[in-house]
C-alpha cells in the first residue's frame, strides 16, 4: 500500500519575499486543513540552502515562492510565484488531479475529468 503522504507540495521561499509573506497570510494558516493539504502536505525550504538529497531531482529556479508538487521521487508540476488565493487553489487543484489514477495529464491540465467510455 502506498504511503498516504507520498506526495508533497514543496515551497521554496526566501527571507524578505513579499509574495511568500502574502502566501503565509492567505494560504498557510488553512493549507493543512484542506483536502489539498491532506493529499500533499506542505514542505518549506529556503531557496538559498542546498537541496535535501530526497529532492535532488528538482530543477530549482530563483523565483520565489516556487511550489513544486512531488510524488514518489518525481515532479508532477509547479506553480511559479504566488498568484493570489483564488488562482493558487485553482492551479494547485489542476496539479493535484494529476495524482489521481485514471486522470490523463491533458484532462488534469484543463481541470477536467475524462469522459466515461461507451454509452
pLDDT tens for residues 78-112?
A: 999 999 999 999 999 999 999 986 654 444 443 43
Q: pLDDT class for 1, splitting at 50, 70, 90?
A: very low
Q: Does domain 7-109 have CATH number 3.40.30.10?
A: yes
9 in Cβ contact with 28 (< 8 Å)? no
The mean pLDDT value for 66-73 works out to 96
Q: Which of 68-72, 103-107, 114-118 has the lowest mean pLDDT?
A: 114-118
Q: Tell me the whole-structure pTM to 2 decimals.
A: 0.80
Strands across the sheet containing 42-46: 42-46, 7-13, 66-71, 74-80
What's the first-to-final CA gap in the chain, in angstroms? 33
pLDDT in tens, 20-63: 999 999 999 999 999 999 999 999 999 999 999 999 999 999 89
pLDDT, residue 100, reads: 81
Amino acid at each position: 500500500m502506498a504511503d498516504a503522504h507520498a506526495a508533497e507540495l514543496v515551497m521554496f521561499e526566501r527571507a524578505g519575499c513579499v509574495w511568500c509573506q502574502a502566501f503565509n497570510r492567505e494560504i498557510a494558516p488553512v493549507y493543512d486543513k484542506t483536502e489539498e493539504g491532506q493529499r500533499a502536505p506542505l514542505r518549506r525550504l529556503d531557496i538559498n540552502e542546498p537541496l535535501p538529497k530526497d529532492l535532488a531531482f528538482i530543477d530549482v529556479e530563483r523565483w520565489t515562492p516556487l511550489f513544486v508538487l512531488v510524488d514518489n521521487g518525481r515532479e508532477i508540476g509547479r506553480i511559479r510565484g504566488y498568484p493570489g488565493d483564488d488562482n493558487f487553489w485553482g492551479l494547485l487543484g489542476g496539479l493535484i488531479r494529476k495524482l489521481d489514477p485514471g486522470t490523463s495529464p491533458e484532462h488534469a491540465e484543463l481541470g477536467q475529468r475524462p469522459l466515461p467510455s461507451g454509452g
